[in-house]
């Protein structure tokens, strides 16, 4: 069953990557990156469990946190761009 879930996650990662590649807007790509990040968290959680090392769930936690900060950094980036764009 774990394998099925892992496969599903991998397929979804591929789909998210496709979305990130085709866009079309930058927001689609950010969405895809965010989705990709959460899928990585799930993947790591499952693999940690599969390989019998649940102590590695720390990694999944770290990924979840970093992913969130990454998305906020992107938003701040948009905001800054808009700000600078308007001034000039």
Partner 1 sequence: MIVDVISFVLLALGAFFVFMGGLGALRLPDLYTRMHAASLTDSLGTILTLGGIMLQSGWSLATVKLLTILFFLMMTGPTASYALANAALLSRDDDAPALPPATGGRE
Partner 2 sequence: MKYFGLYNYWVFTLLLMIGLYAVIAKANLVKKLLGLSIFQSAVFLLYISMAKVDGGTAPIIQHADEPQVFSNPLPHVLILTAIVVGISTIALGLAIVVRIREEYGTIEENEIQARDRDR
Partner 3 sequence: MITAFGFVLLTLLVVTAVAIVVTPNLFVAVMLMSIFSLLMAATFFLLDAADVALTEAAIGAGMSTILFLGALALMGEREAKQAGRQRWLPLAVIALTAFTVIYATFDKPRLGDPAAPVHQHVAPWYLEQTPVLMEVSNVVTAVLAGFRAYDTLGEVLVILTAGIGVMLILANGRPDLSRQGRASASVGLRHHLIPRVVGQLLIPFIVLFGLYLQFHGEFGPGGGFQAGAIIAVGIVLHALLEGEAAGRAILPTPVLVGLMTGGALLFCAVGFAGMLLGGNFLDYAVLAANPVAGQQLGIHLVEAGVGITVTGTLVAAFHAFADREPAA
Which residues contact partner 2 (rule: CB under 8 A)? Answer: 51-53, 55-56
CB of 36 to partner 3, least distance (A): 5
In the window 5-64, what residues touch partner 1 (CB under 8 A)?
5, 7-9, 11-13, 15-16, 18-19, 23-28, 30-32, 34-35, 38-39, 41-42, 45-46, 49, 54-55, 57-58, 60-61, 64
Decide if 11 contacts 35 (C-beta within 8 A): no
Which structure tokens are listed for 4? Answer: 């099925």
Residues 25, 33 contacting (CB under 8 angstroms): no
The answer to the question of residue 80 lying near partner 1 (CB under 8 A) is: no
Question: How far is 46 from 19, CA to CA, in rounded Å?
Answer: 24
């Amino acid at each position: 069953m774990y394998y099925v879930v892992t496969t599903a996650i991998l397929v979804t990662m591929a789909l998210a990557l496709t979305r990130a590649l085709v866009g079309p807007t930058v927001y689609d790509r950010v969405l895809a990156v965010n989705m990709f990040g959460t899928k990585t968290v799930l993947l790591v959680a499952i693999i940690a469990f599969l390989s019998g090392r649940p102590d590695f769930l720390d990694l999944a936690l770290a990924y979840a946190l970093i992913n969130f900060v990454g998305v906020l950094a992107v938003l701040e980036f948009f905001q800054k761009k808009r700000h600078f764009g308007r001034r000039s």
